[in-house]
Amino acid sequence: MSKVVLCYSGGLDTTVCIPLLKERYGFKEVITVTVNVGQPEEDLKKAEERGKKYADRHYTVDAVDEFVDMIFMLIKANGDYEGYVLGTALARPVIARNVAEIAVKENADAIAHGATGKGNDQLRFDNIFLEYGFKVIAPMRELNLTREWEIEYAIKNGIDIPVTKDRPWSIDENLWSRSVEGGKLESPSYIPPEEIYEWTNREAKEDEIIRIDFERGVPVALNGKKMSGRGLIEKLNRIGGRHGIGRTDMMEDRVLGLKARENYEHPAATILITAHRDLEKLVLTRRELKFKRFVEEEWAELVYYGLVNDPLFDALNAFIDRTQERVTGWVKLRLGDCHVMPVARDSEFSLYREELVSFDSLGIDQSLAEGFSIFHSLQGRLFRRLKRD
């Protein structure tokens, strides 16, 4: 084999992969591909610099708009896996498809990635790369490497790396979320230092109320101002972060069955999903909401497992999109110290009727409810009477 395309983040794992692919696997040419899904500009710049420095050729692909489309799907599905808003998981298929397209263009012999054999990313990347028919190379997994070994290898070989033994955090950041793991953070009993957080600084001194407008389940405006999806998410990350909204410290069940301690930051995701769920409660029927919860759980699991190319994923989205035809309106939320709470909402499709609900108006003949009440609990009463007798 002569040519391999490497899915490249610019971090420790993937940078170490470049020489390993030549030394251990015999590739003559390593091509790095960095896919932009909303990482910081500085990270993209560093990845490009390292890719051009250590690889034979480098590509940077802008896939932010494609990722935003996936985020909109997630919002409509209230995407949540065990409390995790799927930021990294959702981005992986977008990254993988763009890397695979470059591999097709380059007529590569294989595609490589820096995922380990203990995490979920190996499955997400492998799935898409195999779909395109490529041989997959995973040096971290196949050579059974540790992070400490990688750091020492990088130092020994003069490779510029973004971590040290004292601060071995592994950070994955995109438009939707920021994850931090590694080092002492892996221990469930370790309290994370404030230094690991960047998005949620809690600098706001007072609560504030914001308004988010939705059209067919998609957020389209903030405080009455129409915004692009990317702009709205970036703005809410800043606003929510000032209030410390969107931190998740959790024990997560990985696909392989391993329990792992994970730390995330996701202000915009927390705010938007909270607002979207609240608006759905106003416009969807009780049975729609109940059934959609089952759909949402399956949807989130497919994303977490990296199975977005499964036919079921398309079928679930078809159902979700049908429910979103009426999820149009606005929600006002109060943002405070580490919390977000809906305080008002309105929609032309609202199923709320004041004249039916209010204690201050008749609206409906209350005496009609007596017959319903008699039959409502009939079987339970009969059962209890039999037990007493």
Which residues are catalytically annotated?
Answer: 13, 92, 121, 170
β-sheet bridge partners, residue 35: 61
Q: Are 333 and 209 in contact (CB under 8 A)?
A: yes
Q: Which amino acid is at 136?
A: V
- CA 323 to chain CA centroid, nearest Å: 21
Which secondary structure element, helix H or strand E, spans residue 1, and what is its range? none
Q: Identify whether the C-beta of residue 178 lies closer than 8 Å to the C-beta of residue 234.
A: no
- Strand 29-36 versus strand 3-7 pairing type: parallel
In sequence order, the 6+-apart residues with CB closer than 8 A to the CB of 196 are 169, 180, 185, 263
- State how far the Cα of 389 lies from the Cα of 373, in Å rounded to an integer: 24
Q: Are the CB atoms for 42 and 50 separated by under 8 Å?
A: no
Q: Which of 341, 302, 266, 255 is nearest to 85 (CA)?
A: 266
Query: In this structure, what are the phi and psi dihedrals at residue 339, rounded to the nearest 5 degrees?
Result: -145, 155
Measured between alpha carbons, how far is 303 from 173 in angstroms, rounded to an integer?
Answer: 17
User: What is the DSSP track for 244-273?
Assistant: T--EEEEEEE-TTS-EEEEEEE-HHHHHHH
